[in-house]
Structure 1
């Protein structure tokens, strides 16, 4: 009976406590409901969120009068005084005109206004995503200040900030819901392969520059945060359909299709679930640059050693006595893949709130399956490339603990250069082809009296197609098959066989089933410690490389190594909260390297009566551990081999090379086994060997003078690189409608990681002092002269001093009614003394000047808006292991218009990119970017 009365009294008490309630509706300036808006009693923990219709009911034990605050991302917050119980209110939130007042989390791992951030930060919210002129929100990131895009494929775009850019950008980190979505084996992000859908994005935050003090080893040049919508606050079924066309000179006009579906449901206040599905199909920006890498004319008609940039197979070349250097006939890139881009991604998550309060448990699984093109040392067709991530996370008001695993499978991916080589060899071996060429060339000149150009044409027809030159009927018919023409049954069968074969001497397939295991934790003591805001955190990661010896030296089983780190941060405000100090430090340790400490110190001062003039200064450091490839790659690319520099990897990498007849005449065996030790401990610099060869060709008798040009390379084993970054900035709002953001930075790099080309003789010792009476010296020089030498690309650190500096200015202003004009400018350059490291290739790959501008009006008239973006960059030098060259300056104009249908809860958008412009490139060797138009219908109840 007493237990019954106790429960009864508690029941009536709970009814009594719940009697104080406030209800209402929250809408935007267009009278459209705002789902997921937060309503909270100021000074109290009671709060709630709006439903799909913007309606809410807030129950609390607090008695009026009190004040509630209504907030939603992308809108100005609003406070309303509540005077009585059961009061009903209507709240209209205005669009957030001043982006500097938006709340961000990434800069300090705690919520703060953009204007108070200690470092430069860019943000894209729901409104900016809606207004983007790009086909997807991810493409639209290119319009942010500080962002520089590198487009390798229509669906593979690499983001970079502050220089030293590349397609394979291992210096920039990308987190999706807290998970690093870099490829475990490739060590960089594959665009938005397992990223977010347009209709599931809650916010995007970008930190340019070094961020290792809080985020660890790979946040060297910057970090991108993409956060998805929570099913507790964003429920319902949303979908979009996009259709458009792409137009490019090489590819013509082709269809573009993109579809997305999101479903989310809060089944109770304790349990919610969410699912997303996306499908994209398009035609590739075809890479069709025919410039000759080896110099000379374009095409074999005038250049018998022609090596076209986007033709493969013509890298196979040899020197023929009395003929010269000759290359085989190659295939166009567009003949070696289907030029189709496909992407399928899905994610599913379960969300639990087991107790009252903000603690939430999240189980999430993401998968991505795609076909695209990636450019590294070669061009790779990623066919059915698969990645998945699984995460368990517990987070609360002041903490989070998460663990996740990233797993990938290369599927039917292959190297297009090796595919071309082995399609050629399926028709005729290299030895037979060059023999055919030499025979026909020399007989054409000797018997027919043809000139060199006609002799070369006769020789190529004979070697390629078994066509005997007129006048030489006595030539035997070659034993091998004629060249396989693209599209023929023989070509298709040979290409399919190459794609299916992982042995690169026969095929082109690469195998990759690598994984990353990662966990991290963070706790904010702000509710326990009052004198300052203190945070502590840490992380642990394990890499597992599994390529079955096709990429790494893991021929005997997967290779594994670990990394871990810990950090602390203290934030304190002084001078009536006008001065904010932030200090942090992080210690990281990789299994194969010494530990590293990354400190950061920053000050932000808010001047003016309303604290709207904010000055910031920061000193921070970044570091980057060598990647899995830097350490354990062992890949024969034909003209050269890639050798990772982990000490054990030097012995793990082995290859058998044939010795020339001239070398065998010196008593050298017909074959030799080389290891990575040859690359790192018995090699010359590439440039010095080239100088040696040129000197010998000019004067064959003066060997000592030529030998004096040789310089030993013996590169150091790679170790972590570091950067010290100094940044000054100013943010303000003038006259309530002009936003200003100015920043300048100076970076100092130590032990900058790079690759270097070296040449190792098969026999002899490069470390022997030249003594022409010494057999070792003669053996070394003979190996170079006989062609018994191997080119390696090794991973090391430059000894050169490298610095970079930059400046950024961003302005945004309402110019007339609701028309908003934005302009931003970035300047970037780097400096180093080439004489300190002659073989160092900087790879800055960044334009010195970039200008971006936008003009838009989200409410030009009822339910109608538009936006225009323009981008300009000066020309710049592109350097990479695939190709070097100048990227020309270009100007790009994008635009979109959108119309909302409130009754249908949907938006129609029509947009176009590169309007009126010519095809342009961002990466030497990649396809030129053409024009694209699209129309999308989005239903978002």
Structure 2
């Protein structure tokens, strides 16, 4: 707190009361037409403005002349202009330039050309948003070099860079105007479900590497920055309306609507306000795979069938162990499940709004106070440990911020409510149980099979036919989808948060965050120096449905402080060296503190070539789920490994007849989550024991309690211009330490584990043999070497007299010995080879443009708690044509995604992605 107060004091000491106002226009060099949304930034600061639709601008600052402003716009070379007097009028002509001239802020927290950025950075601005062939700006991110966008559902997509990610991408951070929009309950971004409206997006920047030195713990494998339009700089009413269809073999053709409206007004030089509204509705990609999750060769007639998108069949038992009858075969039988399409309407919907009030109290001074509020609700499909129907999910954010050219101080709160969301796996399980208990169902199955055997099998049935008859008898009277009984059981389940009888996903968690930054560049000439800090407090409140917070909410906090020094050294007239040194210290109340430094160097040669290199460390604290989850997911129980969490999770388990009669165990045993960490066998050794019957194969697991994960990242890169060809190349190597993941372990209900299972007289091995055990998914760190490396190259140029042609290739590889660590999964989930290309023209003839985008992904292995499997290679072609109507300041666009219609998927277990066809009109969107 003392550090934050000191920063605030420095901030206010830096406020001055002088003022300088400059005005002017910006036009292009070919047609002398105005350039809307051109950026005007005071060099060395973050203060600036943008031109309006007619190319006019006005900029007021507390900085006294002389100083330099930089004018830039996508597709044009930036230009520096010296400001020498107050009220100076500046008319600028920009020459057509390249992507290297674009200005970014994220890489160093200060404006700089992409060309000079010390690390790899990708940018997606107004031009790219206008020209993208994707359905919206967020989907368009998948065309950026080195970026993967995994499609969870139509309205929930997860951005991933450089591997190691599931849909719960806790290694990636997403900021909207400086606010983290990760959900408090899940602790990771949920795409743009409750994010920004397209008409309010100013720019998107993406850092694909570790960024902990400036942005903290979660900026571990990448960070996405989305900036909105300030109403002082972008006034007026703008709107976008998109209408089309989604087309999928499983779901058919369904309507799709996307609407966004922005209203902003500058009431005076001191006060401005804006409000945004967005609405999206469609039908989600249906997941209909009936392939067995554990063994693709098995069909639905297999006794222990577990379909990928079939739920309720996760409940299974060994029928010989359950019955104690020698006449019953020693096989595992699962209950009959329901298809996912019977458990969700596949409604995809997003409704969001935000508003902002902006006040500049001192005329001519850049000091600005603002309040921003955001609310959003949506319906989507989320795939985590199970498949969830997120229905009516609600999230809100509220931010207060004060800033000027040299500092900012902000504080915000993010809270969520789960709405009517539910777990589809447990919905299927509990509809079955509402009709007939597991004990009765398996009892009917066993009785029918035993009756056939004891009756001498007069019909001469095969073993498969005996099992079919037993299942048919046990399923007699089962609730059929769509029947009144099914609907009643369904509604009862999704409104009951007790997973023993229901499937409701319940949560009302929140976190509070504050951060501050001060730039001393206006006070110190020797170098650009910044200091800053942040504080965050979590409050978890799921009512015991996700976390072990059934008795009371769980609270914990963390903080961090950082500094950066950046120095430009002129080596000669054509050679300049930029050195950047950053460092950050972070401390969670649950773990020891960690220092993460970054050192980078960029050498610029004759303004057309830049060589960069950096070494940086990053870290991430275990997430809220890693620490405090307590969730029975069916096949395994997830138990977070915070020390006070282990005994807070308790569960009663039934003991087999053999365990009771032969080993003197009670009929039920209470086990805590601590068993996963101090009395468990590895899952692979239990599988080997089951196959061979040899207890000597059992090996103790007992995973360690979780601790923070670290990474050391080395990166080199080159950006250059060769006549009309732009080249951007980068390569990296990441070395991870204490890699966080989940390890499936098996805890016997009685006995003490030991290698070989003999130290307690073989009691723990007998428990495993009797089926008296529980599978847990433990959160821990790997002591194995986990590394990754990769490289990307991007090329862009103009061909055939004005056509834009671009392409990129990305190679990504994991370095991990899976065979030596069979129970530990890293969830790398990234194709080894990716290729992307775009071709288009912004002005093929007057007011008409087009763009075509192609993406190729190599096949890769998807690994996650829901299931593992191969994602086949895919080729995707998107296209759009657009026509500008200057008289009404509008753009009409017609486009299609996945134009070839070849359906694909990006993650095991999700729905196949079909095609989308749309037409849109965007009005007055500067």
TM superposition score normalised by structure 2: 0.92
CA distance in 2, matches of 1:62, 1:326: 76
Residue in structure 1 matched with residue 603 of structure 2 by the alignment? 605
Summarize the alignment of residues 655-674 of structure 1 with structure 2, pairs less than 5 Å apart.
Answer: 655-665=651-661, 666-674=663-671
The residue matched to 1:486 in structure 2 has which SS? Answer: coil
Q: Bigger shift: 51-60 or 908-917?
A: 51-60
Larger Rg: 1
Q: Helix, strand or coil: the match of 1:140? A: helix
1: distance between equivalents of 2:696 and 2:732? Answer: 43
1:260-659 aligned at under 5 Å gives the runs 260-295=260-295, 297=297, 299-300=299-300, 302-321=301-320, 322-323=328-329, 324-355=331-362, 356-444=364-452, 446-465=457-476, 482-574=477-569, 575-576=571-572, 578-607=576-605, 610-659=606-655
**Corresponding residue of 1:9:** none
Residue in 2 aligned with 1:857?
Answer: 841
1:718 to 699, 706, 723: 706
Kindly report which structure 2 residues correspond to 1:119-130, keeping only aligned pairs within 5 A, or say none. Answer: 119-130=119-130
Over 3 Å counting, the alpha-carbon distance change for 1:39 and 1:317 in structure 2 is closer
- 2:860 is equivalent to residue 876 of structure 1: yes
Pair 1:921-2:920 in alignment: no
* Post-superposition offset of 1:358: 1.4
2:763 counterpart of 1:779 = yes
Q: 1:58 to 1:671 in 2, by over 3 A?
A: closer
For 1:536 and 1:20, the matched residues in 2 are separated by: 29
Alignment of 1:687-698 (within 5 A): 687-696=684-693
Cα 1:765–1:403 change in 2 (3 A) is same
**Mean Cα displacement is larger for which, 432-441 or 23-32?**
23-32
Give secondary structure in 2 for the equivalent of 1:130: helix
8 Å Cα contact 2:19-2:365 kept in structure 1: no
Distance in 2 (CA, whole Å) between partners of 1:194 and 1:289 is: 29
Change (3 A) 1:338 1:28: farther
Can you list the C-alpha shifts for 1:351-380, whole angstroms capped at 9, x where unaligned? Answer: 111112211111000111000011111001
Other structure's SS at 1:187 match: coil
How do 1:810-889 residues align onto structure 2 when only pairs under 5 Å count?
Answer: 810-834=794-818, 836-889=820-873
Residue 728 (structure 2) pairs with residue 741 (structure 1)? yes
Change in Cα spacing, 1:330 to 1:27, as seen in structure 2 (3 Å) is: same
Equivalent position of 2:881 in the other structure: 897
Question: Which residue in 2 is equivalent to 1:762?
Answer: 749
| Alignment check: 8 A CA contact 1:212 1:623 kept | yes
In structure 1, the gaps of 5 or more residues are: 1-16, 466-481, 697-705
Alpha-carbon distance in 2 for matches of 1:242, 1:636: 41
Q: Distance in 1 between matches of 2:305 and 2:278?
A: 43
Q: 1:72 to 1:431 in 2, by over 3 A?
A: same
Kindly tell me: are residues 807 and 391 of structure 1, through their superposed partners in 2, closer, same or farther at Cα, counting changes over 3 Å? same
For the residues of structure 1 that align with 2:537 and 2:46, how far apart are their CA atoms? 40
Q: Alpha-carbon deviation of 1:901? A: 0.3
**What's the counterpart of residue 478 of structure 1?**
none
Measure the CA separation in 1 of the matches of 2:485 and 2:286. 23
2:29 and 2:881 mapped to 1: Cα distance?
A: 20
Residues 232-251 of structure 1: matches in 2 within 5 Å? 232-251=232-251
Does structure 1 residue 910 correspond to structure 2 residue 910? no
Residues of 1 paired with 2:352 and 2:83: CA distance?
46
Q: CA deviation at 1:545?
A: 0.5
Pairing of 1:148-227 with structure 2 (within 5 A):
148-227=148-227
Matches of 1:61 and 1:685, distance apart in 2 = 65
Q: 1:22 to 1:161 in 2, by over 3 A?
A: closer
- Counterpart-to-counterpart distance in 2, 1:215 and 1:864: 41
Which residue number corresponds to residue 112 of structure 2?
A: 112
SS of residue matched to 1:443: helix
Distance change in 2, residues 1:169/1:83 (3 Å): closer
With the length of structure 1 as denominator, give the TM-score of the two structures.
0.91
Q: 1:27 to 1:810 in 2, by over 3 A?
A: closer
Distance 1:288 1:141 in 2: 27
8 Å Cα contact 1:564-1:588 kept in structure 2: yes
> For the residues of structure 2 that align with 1:891 and 1:267, how far apart are their CA atoms?
50
Q: Deviations over 1:873-907 (max 9, x none)?
A: 11111111111111111111111110000001100
Moved more, 433-442 or 75-84: 75-84
- 1:26-56 Cα deviation digits (max 9, x unpaired): 5796776545546689999999764554445
**3-state SS of paired residue (1:611):** coil
Q: Please give the secondary structure, in 2, of the residue aligned with 1:260.
A: strand
CA contact (8 A) 1:211 1:223 kept: yes
Contact 1:74 1:126 survives alignment (8 Å): no
Q: For residue 373 of structure 2, give the secondary structure of its aligned residue in structure 1.
A: strand
For residue 75 of structure 1, report the CA deviation from its aligned partner: 4.2
Quickly say closer, same or farther: Cα 1:62–1:152, change in 2 above 3 A: closer
2:787 is aligned to: 803
Distance change >3 Å, CA 929–CA 163, structure 1 → 2? same
Report how far residue 398 of structure 1 moved. 1.4
- Partner Cα separation in structure 2 for residue 172 and residue 412 of structure 1: 27
User: How far is the alpha carbon of 1:786 from its aligned partner?
Assistant: 1.4
Distance in 2 between residues matched to 1:64 and 1:210, nearest whole Å: 38
C-alpha deviations, 1:914-939, integer Å up to 9, x for none?
11141101000011111111111000
Q: After superposition, give the CA deviation of every residue in 1:793-831 in whole Å (9 maximum; x if it has no partner).
A: 000000101111101101001112211110100001111
How far apart, in 2, do the equivalents of 1:765 and 1:59 lie? 73
Note if contact 1:313-1:328 (Cα within 8 Å) is conserved in structure 2.
Answer: yes
Q: Give the whole-Å Cα distance in 2 for the aligned partners of 1:68 and 1:225.
A: 23
For residues 688 and 158 of structure 1, the distance between their equivalents in structure 2, rounded to whole angstroms, comes to 34
Q: Distance in 2 between matches of 1:506 and 1:435?
A: 20
| Local SS of the residue matching 1:403 | strand
Shift of 1:443: 3.2
Mark the CA change 1:66 to 1:142 in structure 2 (over 3 Å): closer, same or farther.
closer
String of CA shifts for 1:98-126, please: whole Å, max 9, x gaps.
11111111101111110111111100111
Structure-2 separation of matches of 1:64 and 1:715? 63
Q: Equivalents in 2 of 1:673, 1:163: separation in Å?
A: 39
Contact residue 344 and residue 370 of structure 1 kept, 8 A: yes
Change in Cα spacing, 1:723 to 1:453, as seen in structure 2 (3 Å) is: same
Q: Say if 2:46 and 2:110, in contact at 8 Å, map to a contact too.
A: no
The structure-2 alpha-carbon separation of the partners of 1:893 and 1:178, relative to structure 1 and needing over 3 Å to count, comes to: same
Would the aligned equivalents of 2:45 and 2:110 in 1 still touch at CA under 8 Å?
no
Please state whether the residue corresponding to 1:647 is helix, strand or coil: coil
Once the two structures are TM-superposed, the CA of residue 767 in structure 1 deviates from its matched residue by 4.1
Residues 624-667 of structure 1: per-residue CA shift (max 9 Å, x gap): 10000100001112221001000011111111111122112222
